[in-house]
Amino acid sequence: MTSQVKFNVDTKALGRIAQGGAVLGAGGGGNPYVGRLMVQQMLGDDKTVPVIDIDTMGDDELILPIAMMGAPVVMIEKFPSGNEIPNLVNMIERLMQKKVSAILCIEAGGLNSTIPFIAAAQMGLPIVDGDAMGRAFPELQMVTFTLGGINATPMAMFDDKGNGATFDTVSNQWTEKLARALTIEMGGSAMVGLYAVTAKQCREYLIRDSLSMAHEIGEIMENHGGDVTDALAKRFGGAHLFQGRVRDVERRNETGFSKGTVTLEGTGDFRNSEAVLSFQNEFLAAEVDGKTVATTPDLITLLDANIGEPVTTDMVKYGLSVNVLGLPCDPIWRSEKGLELVGPKYFGLDVPYTPI
């Protein structure tokens, strides 16, 4: 079946999606700039990647999410070799005994908003307009597919040296544990193909149009510069949570994650106030003067107060002036099962979830 193309992504559109993906990354997921450079090299001046609507696909067509797994700092410094994706696709096709018809972003935020475009360009496949998070989350079971009982395995994994592995696990949580351990042995990052699904399986649990949303965020950022925080909050039903300068950053690598806190000293309308943001790859909670103002699964994103660029957890440094943007998550995460999987209590935060 030939799927109808919604729009084609050239290098300019890819830049907007990368910017939007950095916002949707909620401070984590790695910097999309690395993936963007790799795709731009493949596309050149005249090639594009077609983005399709899942409803135009046949029920039995196979969709493969492609992603990088690992600590964001490592993913920025350790480039893929370029051979991982063909290996992943070939391995999944052998395991599933079916050809892959389209690529999917497993998360709309961070590096993994652009990495799947490498797969699509390299393999000559379309990419589905949607994802399974609507943002970035730190663990691979934290996807809407888990809520639908869809298995992460069979999963394939390759590193930049050519080492490959496959997994067949009893739960998606076990997939995370075993794959995380192997990722550490592979040097802190690896390319993965997982949650291979038919279009019929995918439809109910796909967060739709997230690539279109990332592209729109990128467009808004082009037009607003340093005052983009209020524009994004207004467009997407969010909130300008804080403005301040970074006073302290506590960051550590632990079990394959980047964890820590960022302390902000208020400026402008927030003068004489203090904010503390906690993170595990992504920002998990924001407190202002000791009161929680936002938590996961809603998105907490830092934007440079001068130029409006997203600031990831690995880029935060002392003295930087930032705005804190809160955006509502997809409604599916606000269900009881959703909050069990990605809510504050899962991450050990003793605070209730209060929707933005």
CA gap 148, 283 in Å, rounded: 25
Cα distance between the two ends of the chain: 41
DSSP notation for 48-93: -EEEE-GGGS-TT-EEEEEEEEE-HHHHHHS---S-HHHHHHHHHH
List, in order, residues 6 or more apart from 291 with CB less than 8 Å away: none
pLDDT digits (tens, 9 = 90+) for 129-185: 999 999 999 899 999 999 999 999 999 999 989 999 999 999 999 999 999 999 989
Q: What is the pLDDT of residue 83?
A: 80
CA gap 254, 243 in Å, rounded: 29
Spell out the domain ranges in the chain.
5-211, 226-347
CA gap 282, 50 in Å, rounded: 29
CA gap 279, 304 in Å, rounded: 18
> SS3 of 349, please?
coil
Q: Has this prediction a pTM greater than 0.85?
A: yes
User: The tokens of 168 are what?
Assistant: 């067949």
pLDDT digits (tens, 9 = 90+) for 270-281: 999 999 999 998
Q: What is the pLDDT of residue 75?
A: 58
Task: With beta carbons less than 8 A apart as the criterion, state whether 57 and 137 touch.
Answer: no
Task: With beta carbons less than 8 A apart as the criterion, state whether 164 and 193 touch.
Answer: no
Q: What is the pLDDT of residue 1?
A: 46
Helices and strands (H and E) in the chain: how many:
11, 19
Low-confidence ranges of the chain (pLDDT < 50): 1
Q: What is the pLDDT of residue 72?
A: 58
Q: What is the pLDDT of residue 354?
A: 86
Using the Cα atoms of residue 304, residue 307, residue 310 and residue 311 in order, give the sign of their dihedral: negative
Q: What is the pLDDT of residue 315?
A: 87
128 C-beta neighbours (distance < 10 Å), count: 28
The burial of 232, by beta-carbon neighbours within 10 Å (0-12 exposed, 13-18 middle, 19 or more buried), is given as: buried
CA gap 113, 67 in Å, rounded: 9
User: The tokens of 66 are what?
Assistant: 């492609």
Rg (CA), the chain: 19
Q: Domain 226-347 maps to which CATH number in 3.90.1150.10, 1.10.340.70, 2.40.390.10, 3.40.50.20?
A: 2.40.390.10
Q: Is it true that domain 5-211 has CATH number 3.40.1610.10? A: yes
Max Cα distance, the chain (Å): 62
298 C-beta neighbours (distance < 10 Å), count: 23
